[in-house]
Structure 1
Amino acid sequence: MLVSVTGGTGFVGSHSVAALVRAGCHVRLLVRDKDAVGRALGPLGVEPDEVEVRVGDVLDPAGVASFVSGADAVLHAASVYSFDARKADAMRRVNLQGTENVLGAARRADVERTVYVSTVAAMWPANGRTIDVNSPVGRPRETYMATKAAAEEVARRHQTEGAPVVITYPPALLGPFDPHTGDQAARLRDTLRGLMPIWPLGGFPVGDVRDTAALHASVLTRPLEGENRFFGPGRYLTTRQYLDAVRQATGRRLPAMFMPARPMLPMGRMADILQRFWPWHIPAEYGAVYTTVHATAVAAGAPTHGIEARPVDRTMADTVRWLQASGQISRRRAGTAALV
């Protein structure tokens, strides 16, 4: 089975590629930097010569058409995930136009199954207390979420028109071996460095990237039984529960103050404005605060294609150990999760 994968050198994509290779699939990657393949897949036990590599960009329609031609399935995981205000333009281009290009090309090539990696945030703010596969697309006032909501509309339109498109909804993901140390890993790193002394109240769904990767391998290789939308395994954590999980994984006190989230939104906006001119990353982000205000739990029993979420404490400890092993935090900051 040939699976064409976009975003295969990213966090979700690289773990999904490793899961697909373990499942016996032949994988074709579309990458902008060929050298990134080894850096992303090597730590996961996949050698560069085990996958086919095409150099290109999801923003190039002709290149995308060639990339999906002859594939049995497509996994579209390419996305810019960030609350960094400096990446707003890239998010609009890649998250929306890239999805238009890939899903359209796969449909024209008669690919048997195309999996689009969305996010639970595409359905925020939600009308109810939980979200499920039938929840409407959200209308968020935050750039990353807004671009993913717009891309979700594209994917659902293809589904409505009968195209064999499957949508997955990962939660906020942690886990080891994040090739670019994305927002979630960076937030945990900043917490361990003592740069997050103030937290907004609220919460968000959290999961392990390895579980979402297992979901992708499963929905690409096993029967779907009539379903075409699946949630990445995870659990809703309040920010207090999140920080308690970090404390448990590290044995550290990590003192913090919690404040109501809505009054912190203007502070996040100001930080985003400052970030456009300040060369170093500012941990306080409007998108992170906005998330804790509007994040909604996934309904119990929502389909995950039989993939169970691993314990949060295991995910947290594995992520902390990887942060230490990769030199991003010291052994002292890793606490009891430190490598021996």
Structure 2
Amino acid sequence: MPAPKSVFVTGATGFIGSRLVPRLLKRGHHVTALARRPEQAGHLRALGVQLLRGDVTQPESLTEGMQGADWLLHLANHYSLHERDESIYTRVNVVGNRNVMRAALEAGVGKVVHVSSGVSYGISPDQPLREDSRVGPFPNAYWRTKHLGDEEVWHLHRQGLPVTAVYPGGVVGANDPNATGAWIRRLAQRRQPVRAFEDRGFTYVAVDDVAEAIVLAAEREDNVGERYLIGREFLTNRAFVELVAELAGSPLPPLVLPDRLAHLNAALLGRLEAWMGVRPVMDFTPSSARHLAAGFRFGSEKAERELGLQYTPVREAVAQDLATFRPSAR
């Protein structure tokens, strides 16, 4: 275990960040966390985290916390599959990345671990994905801005910023507030009557494993410039739905939409939202439909080999999430 470090964390209050910070503290590191609303992050302060008010879209708020930092662990991003105003993706995922990385370079941070996503590769022609895979087209604004944000990071790396990056797959685990967690809840509570794009799918990974991968990537001393895909288990959308149904004791959604009909249905719901301001049923929009229809697949040999990462079965991570709102889940 390396000597204690001074660590600056963005996104510390998020799904992954809430698992990351306790790991850092347990290893003896001193953590400063950027928080838009420090008054709502008292749980971090209680752990001994120094809170700094700021936002990745406000570059002047980033300088103070990075002074003297050994590591920057950058998790902050805007993750959703649908926004009426898509400019938020660019503000946070692109401009925000640029602001954070410029501040780190100016502050002389010793090492940066940038947390991206498998979607940054787009619909790559190289399947399964590898860390050096080519980039393909992007099905929605979230995927596109994750890639553009990465480009900002690697541009500054070429100017001397010591970056290592991790690219998680679909992240699952207890108390998931994001799109996958909402999908699991709808399935378990019988509020998801349809299935679609059943032969497509994603590589999934437990949220605790992503947090561990970030720490391991930071601790390794000879991996500046490296990329690590994080995840191993690929599940088709049908297999994922079947897994949730089995664990929750719920029936499978009875209706299966052909691809073209699913896209048409999403388009109609999107237009209804535009006309009436009604949020689409099941958050099914053209953007989320294209996300499900695209998917991604990869293995994690590099992360396992170089970082020593070991994986929690996805089945266990899904069960942990179900248990947070269905105590009877098996």
Query: Does TM-score exceed 0.5, indicating one fold?
Result: yes
In structure 1, give the amino acid aligned to 2:312. R
- 8 Å CA contact 2:171–2:206 kept in 1: the answer is yes
Query: Offset at 1:186?
Result: 1.1
In structure 1, the partner of 2:34 is: 30
Aligned to 1:79: 77
Q: 1:6 aligns with which of 7, 10, 14?
A: 10
Deviation at 1:266, TM superposition (A): 3.4
Which residue of 15, 19, 29 maps to 2:23? Answer: 19
- The 5 A counterparts of 1:1-340 are 1-38=5-42, 42=43, 48-86=46-84, 88-178=86-176, 181-200=177-196, 201=198, 202-225=200-223, 228-276=226-274, 277-280=276-279, 282-283=281-282, 284-299=284-299, 301-304=301-304, 305-324=307-326, 335-337=328-330
Residue 175 of structure 1: how far off its partner (Å)? 0.7
CA offset digits 1:52-108 (Å, max 9, x no partner): 000111111111122211111101111110012235222221111100000111112
RMSD between aligned residues: 2.1
Alignment gaps of 5+ in structure 1: 325-330
Contact residue 270 and residue 285 of structure 2 kept, 8 A: yes
Work out the CA distance in 2 between the residues paired with 1:280 and 1:292.
19
Q: Distance in 1 between matches of 2:102 and 2:201?
A: 35
Matches of 2:153 and 2:145 in 1, distance apart? 13
Cα 1:192–1:155 shift into 2, 3 Å? same
User: Secondary structure at 2:325's aligned position in 1?
Assistant: helix
**Quick one: distance in 2 between partners of 1:122 and 1:274?**
30
Structure 1 residue identity aligned to 2:195: W
How far has the Cα of 1:121 moved from its partner? 0.5
Most deviating of 161-170 and 291-300 = 291-300
Q: Cα deviations across residues 21-80 of structure 1 (Å, max 9, x unaligned)? A: 222211111111113323xxx4xxx65351000011111111112221111110111111
Matches of 1:74 and 1:188, distance apart in 2: 32
CA contact (8 A) 1:168 1:230 kept: yes
What is the identity, as a one-letter code, of the residue corresponding to 1:176?
Answer: A
Say whether the 8 Å CA contact 2:217–2:223 is kept in structure 1: no
TM-fit CA distance, 1:271: 2.5
> Which SS does the other structure have where 1:116 is aligned?
strand
Query: Normalising by structure 1, what TM-score?
Result: 0.87
Q: Is the 8 A contact 2:81 2:291 kept in 1?
A: no
Does the 8 Å contact 1:59/1:101 carry over to 2?
yes
Distance of aligned partners of 1:48 and 1:157 in 2 relative to their CA distance in 1, 3 Å threshold: same
* Change over 3 Å in CA distance of 1:127–1:25 after alignment to 2: same
Q: Partners of 1:219 and 1:73 in 2: how far apart?
A: 11
Q: Which residue of 2 is the match for residue 327 of structure 1?
A: none
8 Å Cα contact 1:261-1:292 kept in structure 2: no
Instruction: After TM superposition, give the deviation of residue 158 of structure 1 in Å.
Output: 2.7
| Per-residue deviation, 1:146 | 1.2
Q: Which amino acid aligns with 2:10?
A: T
Amino acid of the structure 2 residue aligned with 1:164: P
Between 120-129 and 251-260, report the one with greater CA deviation: 251-260
In the alignment, the residues of structure 2 paired with residue 315 and residue 227 of structure 1 have an alpha-carbon distance, to the nearest angstrom, of: 30
| Higher mean C-alpha deviation, range 23-32 or range 192-201 | 192-201
Rounded to whole Å, the distance in 2 between the matches of 1:84 and 1:34 is 27
| Cα deviation code 1:112-153 (max 9, x no counterpart) | 111111100110211122111111334313011111111121
Pair 1:257–1:31, CA change in 2 (3 A): same
* 1:23–1:217 CA contact under 8 A, matched in 2: no
Deviations 1:152-208 (A, max 9, x none): 211222334442111111111111134xx2211111111122222212221112111
Describe the shift of the 1:187–1:108 C-alpha distance in structure 2 as closer, same or farther (beyond 3 A).
same
Gaps of 5+ in 2: none
Q: Partners of 1:145 and 1:115 in 2: how far apart?
A: 20
The C-alpha deviation readout for 1:278-307, integer Å capped at 9, x for no partner, is 354631133332123222211462435221
Shift of 1:257: 3.0
TM-score (ref. length: structure 2) = 0.89
Distance 1:266 1:19 in 2: 45
Measured after TM superposition, the shift of residue 263 of structure 1 is: 4.5
Task: Tell me if structure 1 keeps the 8 A contact 2:212–2:309.
Answer: yes
